Chain A
């Protein structure tokens, strides 16, 4: 393993590491635009120049592998002057539209100009003008004038999705990125090009002009869009809610985890948070359309569970619930002897796995629900409802009127049930028919854990307050359980997780501390790695074919 010296500090790195990564490990930041650890080396922006002993002139750090005995300097006068000149070059034609640019505040042109530029501009000529506000497909907006041609987005489409929509057209100072005329950027990972764009050239059509980035707060979370459990940051706008019409969740951004999703997330997950601040959110409990206090509503649930025989009660739990919620629900069912508990309600239109991260199972916690022991037969529950043997049907989150069951069967079943309790975050066809409705907190409004399809347990954290009287699942089920005399773990999600880890062997040894930010595997589950991007798999297949030819 090569040992290099960077700015007087020695470090040993693995063979194949470049100087940017070696320096990063020493806490030294070598500025760069085109280099991205998830993409190939382009050497296009020239900003990462460093001095290397015995080299006649500054060298780009991204394309220089750390070699044994190499002595590198990142802060010589020559390097500083080189950076300043390169910044001046990058900014020659850059428009001064920071005040109306969505990237402002998280723009690497701004950051590096302040850190490494600070020159007096010498440009007196008219700048080259290029197309502005050009939609590239449903999610991405292009401003060609702001682009510094780093080619990250082009490489992303070539090397990750393999869809190759983007290119750099024309040449010299007329070069601009774009799509083949008439084509759209319509792959399910298009939002990632906005993340990796270091400047304001590619912005997010959903986020554009909602709120300035410096008003955002960031919370570590897990994407609830499918069974993969991609690691994300939730960006919420608490400081200027009036700027975005009261919308609290501003955007979701991928959070690096090389065991799950690496640097990427899909568009289905990225833009799937709309329900959180939607009009259809349930804020307060209600009985046949009349608002109820939370305690009155809980009282009615408690009475329903107490006054009916366990055989007359069925619960349709949800794989959108956290492990903590599902465990509290299991305790409640056990305490009352309710055996008819299931969570798999078939979707109206079955989805499919895509070729990268997105899973057909669009629920984040099916594996958790399965292991915690709520995997009953939902179709059998529906049949028993139709037969008239269920008096209380408690539906959590699902819209069974829009599920993959025949509408007539569902209508027939609901007609024969005495009372329908609906608990969920948003109103739907089922809540409209329910006798009693109780609000649940959305995933961004509470702490908890999901178990992904490979058995990785991952934490998400509260980013905003629950709306109205909404409670987290563990809290709601725990209050009912407590009133019925059952064993309550406590008033925090973590306490329920502790009980879960003590009770269910697969969770043995896990704690919020051991899960941390990166997640931890269930007992006996093999460690995971992020899947190979489709383009890499295609290339590997092609080279195998080449060899065997």
Chain B
């Protein structure tokens, strides 16, 4: 009974996954120092995974599989585990996103205050459906769950700002300001 053993998982996961060597996916020395600082804040370094993934997203534009594998390497985690986290949260982008992200709330309060009309106006003005990015890479439009600003319904988050009591005119003004 001498069968050859199948290959074991000794090769690095990125290589097994057939991914290119992440030459361009690399933090600067300052960022790596920040990663270590964040990891030191938690009893288990893994706790810093969320902020480090945000760093990676801000640095590399979105969380490609290469970026996930790179971050996994920084934590000594398997890429599958980082992929679990990235696919769980909607604020992590697995595809390239626009320069600006518009998240329109469509939960109860905003819905009652006309969120669907607001979304439709965004879609018409941008020429894309929710979940899509404009061809020029300017804006990604999303429908999102409650952002805790029901008193200002209907509302949306545009990049890091809350835009409240939205009207079509206000939307036009906002979009004109996004370059």
Binding site for B on A (CB under 8 A): 138, 158, 161, 163-171, 179-184, 186-188, 224-226, 266-268, 271-272, 275, 320, 347, 349, 351, 354-355, 358, 362-364
Contact check, A168 vs B5: say whether CB atoms are below 8 A apart. Answer: no
Within 8 A of A (CB), among B91-129: none
Given contacts A179-B80, A180-B79, A180-B80, contact A165 B9 (CB under 8 A): yes
The 0/1 profile, CB within 8 Å of A marked 1, for residues 1-42 of chain B is: 111111111000100111100000000000000000000000
Neighbouring A residues of B83 by C-beta, 8 Å: 167, 169, 180-181
Q: A167-B80, A186-B9, A363-B1 are in contact. List 12 more A-B contacts (CB 8 A).
A: A164-B81, A165-B80, A168-B84, A170-B87, A180-B65, A180-B69, A183-B17, A184-B16, A186-B8, A351-B5, A354-B8, A362-B2
Neighbouring A residues of B7 by C-beta, 8 Å: 186
In the complex, which of the residues B4, B8, B80 contacts A183, with contact meaning CB atoms closer than 8 Å?
A: B80
B77 in the interface (beta carbon within 8 A): yes
Given contacts A186-B8, A268-B3, contact A166 B19 (CB under 8 A): no
Neighbouring B residues of A354 by C-beta, 8 Å: 5, 8
Q: Once bound together, how far apart are the Cα atoms of A349 and B69, in whole Å?
A: 35
Q: Once bound together, how far apart are the Cα atoms of A224 and B1, in whole Å?
A: 7
Neighbouring A residues of B78 by C-beta, 8 Å: 158, 163-165, 167, 180
Neighbouring A residues of B1 by C-beta, 8 Å: 224-226, 272, 275, 320, 362-364
Contact check, B2 vs A267: say whether CB atoms are below 8 A apart. Answer: no
Neighbouring B residues of A358 by C-beta, 8 Å: 5
Neighbouring B residues of A266 by C-beta, 8 Å: 5
Q: Once bound together, how far apart are the Cα atoms of A347 and B2, in whole Å?
A: 8
In the complex, which of the residues A138, A180, A188, A362 contacts B17, with contact meaning CB atoms closer than 8 Å?
A: A180
Which A residue's beta carbon lies closest to that of B72?
A: A180
Q: Once bound together, how far apart are the Cα atoms of A138 and B8, in whole Å?
A: 12
- In the complex, 10 of the A-B residue pairs with CB atoms within 8 angstroms, ordered by the A residue number, are A161-B9, A163-B9, A171-B87, A186-B6, A188-B5, A272-B3, A351-B5, A355-B8, A362-B3, A363-B2
In the complex, which of the residues A169, A187, A351 contacts B8, with contact meaning CB atoms closer than 8 Å?
A: A187
Q: Once bound together, how far apart are the Cα atoms of A171 and B87, in whole Å?
A: 8
In the complex, which of the residues A158, A181, A225, A272 contacts B65, with contact meaning CB atoms closer than 8 Å?
A: A181
Contact check, A183 vs B5: say whether CB atoms are below 8 A apart. Answer: no
Given contacts A181-B83, A183-B13, contact A188 B6 (CB under 8 A): yes
Contact check, B77 vs A164: say whether CB atoms are below 8 A apart. Answer: yes
Neighbouring A residues of B65 by C-beta, 8 Å: 180-182
Q: Once bound together, how far apart are the Cα atoms of A38 and B116, in whole Å?
A: 51
Neighbouring B residues of A165 by C-beta, 8 Å: 9, 78, 80
Neighbouring B residues of A272 by C-beta, 8 Å: 1, 3
Contact check, A181 vs B17: say whether CB atoms are below 8 A apart. Answer: yes
In the complex, which of the residues A167, A170, A186, A225 contacts B3, with contact meaning CB atoms closer than 8 Å?
A: A225
Which B residue's beta carbon lies closest to that of A271?
A: B3
Neighbouring B residues of A182 by C-beta, 8 Å: 16-19, 65
Interface-centre pick from A182, A266, A272 (highest chain B CB count, 10 A): A182
Neighbouring B residues of A170 by C-beta, 8 Å: 87-88
Q: Once bound together, how far apart are the Cα atoms of A241 and B63, in whole Å?
A: 51
Which B residue's beta carbon lies closest to that of A183?
A: B17
Which B residue's beta carbon lies closest to that of A184?
A: B16
Which A residue's beta carbon lies closest to that of B5?
A: A268
Neighbouring A residues of B4 by C-beta, 8 Å: 349, 351
Which B residue's beta carbon lies closest to that of A163?
A: B9
Q: Within the complex, what minimum Cβ distance (angstroms) separates B13 from chain A?
A: 6
Q: Once bound together, how far apart are the Cα atoms of A364 and B2, in whole Å?
A: 10
Neighbouring A residues of B9 by C-beta, 8 Å: 161, 163, 165, 186-187
Q: Once bound together, how far apart are the Cα atoms of A355 and B2, in whole Å?
A: 18
Neighbouring B residues of A224 by C-beta, 8 Å: 1
Within 8 A of A (CB), among B126-172: none
Contact check, A138 vs B6: say whether CB atoms are below 8 A apart. Answer: yes
Which A residue's beta carbon lies closest to that of B94?
A: A181
Q: Within the complex, what minimum Cβ distance (angstroms) separates A540 from chain B?
A: 15
Q: Within the complex, what minimum Cβ distance (angstroms) separates A217 from chain B?
A: 23
Q: Once bound together, how far apart are the Cα atoms of A363 and B3, in whole Å?
A: 10
Q: Once bound together, how far apart are the Cα atoms of A183 and B80, in whole Å?
A: 9
Q: Within the complex, what minimum Cβ distance (angstroms) separates B82 from chain A?
A: 8
Q: Within the complex, what minimum Cβ distance (angstroms) separates A519 from chain B?
A: 19
Neighbouring A residues of B17 by C-beta, 8 Å: 180-183
Q: Within the complex, what minimum Cβ distance (angstroms) separates B111 from chain A?
A: 19
Q: Once bound together, how far apart are the Cα atoms of A266 and B16, in whole Å?
A: 21
Q: Within the complex, what minimum Cβ distance (angstroms) separates B96 from chain A?
A: 16
Report the 3 A-B pairs with minimum CB-CB distance, sorted nearest first.
A164-B78, A182-B17, A167-B80
Q: Within the complex, what minimum Cβ distance (angstroms) separates A26 from chain B?
A: 37
Q: Within the complex, what minimum Cβ distance (angstroms) separates B126 from chain A?
A: 26
Interface-centre pick from A164, A183, A363 (highest chain B CB count, 10 A): A183
Q: Within the complex, what minimum Cβ distance (angstroms) separates B52 from chain A?
A: 18
Q: Once bound together, how far apart are the Cα atoms of A188 and B9, in whole Å?
A: 8
Given contacts A169-B84, A169-B87, contact A183 B6 (CB under 8 A): no
The 0/1 profile, CB within 8 Å of A marked 1, for residues 51-82 of chain B is: 00000000000000100110000000111110
Q: Within the complex, what minimum Cβ distance (angstroms) separates B59 from chain A?
A: 21
Q: Once bound together, how far apart are the Cα atoms of A166 and B78, in whole Å?
A: 9
Neighbouring B residues of A320 by C-beta, 8 Å: 1
Contact check, B88 vs A164: say whether CB atoms are below 8 A apart. Answer: no
Q: Within the complex, what minimum Cβ distance (angstroms) separates B164 from chain A?
A: 28
Which B residue's beta carbon lies closest to that of A274?
A: B3
Neighbouring A residues of B84 by C-beta, 8 Å: 167-169
Which B residue's beta carbon lies closest to that of A174?
A: B87
Neighbouring B residues of A158 by C-beta, 8 Å: 78
Q: Once bound together, how far apart are the Cα atoms of A158 and B80, in whole Å?
A: 10
Neighbouring A residues of B2 by C-beta, 8 Å: 347, 351, 362-363
Neighbouring B residues of A171 by C-beta, 8 Å: 87-88
Which B residue's beta carbon lies closest to that of A534?
A: B8
Q: Once bound together, how far apart are the Cα atoms of A362 and B4, in whole Å?
A: 10
Contact check, B81 vs A167: say whether CB atoms are below 8 A apart. Answer: yes
Contact check, A180 vs B8: say whether CB atoms are below 8 A apart. Answer: no
Neighbouring A residues of B80 by C-beta, 8 Å: 164-167, 179-180, 183
Which B residue's beta carbon lies closest to that of A273?
A: B1
